[in-house]
Structure formats: C-alpha cells, structure tokens
Amino acid sequence: MAFKPFDLTGKVALVTGGNGGIGLGMAEGLAAAGAKVAIWGQNPDKNAKAEAALKAYGGEVLVQKVDVADEAAVVAGLAEVIKTLGRLDFCAANAGIGGGAPFDEMTTEKWRRVTTVNLDAVFWTFREAVRHMVERAKDGDPGGSLVVTSSTSAIHGAPRNEAYASTKAGVLAMVRGLAVEYARHGVRANSILPGWIATDMTAGAQGNDKFNDQVIRRVPFRRWGEGDDFSGIAVYLASDASRFHTGDSFVIDGGYTIF
C-alpha cells in the first residue's frame, strides 16, 4: 500500500482570513491535498476570487463573510461550517490586523481593536472548534488540529507594534496550553510565525525602497515571503503526518530570524 500521509481526503479545514495572503496560501494547499475547505473573509471581491481559485482544485468549498471581532458571528460561522461540511478536522486562526503607532500615542480604542481581532477572536474560534473536536472524541472519533498564525514580532523587538506583538505572543501561550490540555482527545495545537510576507498588511512597506534595502536585503533568501510559502506547512499540520507533533512554533521567515 502506498504511503500517503499528506492525503487530506475526507478531512474538513477552516481558515479564517482565508481570502488572501497567508490564509489563501494555506487554503489552496489544503484544497490541493483533497480537503473540503471553508474560508472566512469580509471583502466580497476577495472572497469571490478566492472561491474560484479553491474550486479549481475540484473539492467542496464554503466561503463565509464572518467578522471575527464579533463573538456571535464566530460562533455562528463555525456552526455553519460543521453543519454544511459535516465536521471540522483542521482550524487555522489566521485572521488578523496590524496596529502600528508610537506606543506613547496608542489609544485604548486602537489597542482594544487589535487585541480583539488578534487575540480574542482566536480564543472564540478555537473554543468552538475544540468543543466540536472533544464531542467527536467522546463519540469514538478523536483527532483534530488547531493552528494559529502568530508572527516573528512575538519574539523580536517590534517598535511601534507593541499591540500587535503582544497579541502574537499571547497566542503562543494559548496554543501551548491547548496542546497539553486536549492531547488526550487527539487534538494537536501549533503556531506559525511568519516573517516579512507580501500581504495587504505589508503593502506600504513592499513599495518602500529604503525598507527593502535595509530589511528585506537581510533576509537570506533575499525576497519577501509569499502566501503559497505556507501551503506545505498547512497540509503537514492538517495531515496524519503530524499526528504526534503538538505544542510547537514554526518560524517561516526565509532565515531572517537566525541571520
């Protein structure tokens, strides 16, 4: 029998913020590997383009407009995924926003907005996913994989980004706790720490010659990361190939952190 650890046929995956950038890269990898894929995003045009790209792989796709800053919307959205696609095996909490501002000028309102989207929403998303996975385990169907998109800002000094970095460090601790608490149900939890990736969030920096010369030139690969650089790690973490791999943090930054 052929060894097919990365075959996701029969598995259902959800990627929040899955209509572009890192999230879409993940979703495309999952769809190509045979998973049924649900994505959340709020931009109708990006949702439509992402849906078309994912359906090209031939599997079932569910696209939802979900505001992850709204707890009720998250609860309802995840319930719809399970109802429509039948189950949930892989949940990637990837949606996030930036929050760049001088620390001494940061307003409480802006701080709360960043923490709500980048930290609270991860809690709500994973809580609902875990409830489903635990119930499945009790019925004799254990297993599941939780993945959060953190950032290398969680382990670097990130000036003007203290709100963002704080949330990205917070989810690392959340994931480690989940990995220990729910292993008995076959549920794994891991983190991905992207470096400088070409997404809508970094659009301003991408066109900045000074930034590219001083920062991207220091990336050993000498380029910005792309969304599809995250396809493989998503497939690995959703698959049975990672069935004993939990509580880990994957730095995907082209070598920037170690250089």
Determine contact, residues 118/149, Cβ cutoff 8 Å: no
Q: Comparing C-alpha atoms, which of 243, 259, 197, 204 is closest to residue 23?
A: 197
Cα 70 versus chain centre, distance: 18
Given 164, 182, 236, 256, the catalytic residue: 164
Q: Distance between CA atoms of 34 and 9, rounded to whole angstroms?
A: 5
Angle subtended by helix axes 71-85 and 121-138, to nearest 10: 40
- At a CB cut-off of 8 Å and minimum separation 6, what does 69 contact? 113, 116, 117, 120, 121
164 is catalytic: yes
Sequential DSSP letters for 233-244 = HHHHHHSGGGTT
- For the chain, first and last CA: distance in Å? 43
Q: Contact 46/70 with Cβ under 8 angstroms?
A: no
CA distance 35 to 233: 14
Q: Catalytic amino acids?
A: 164
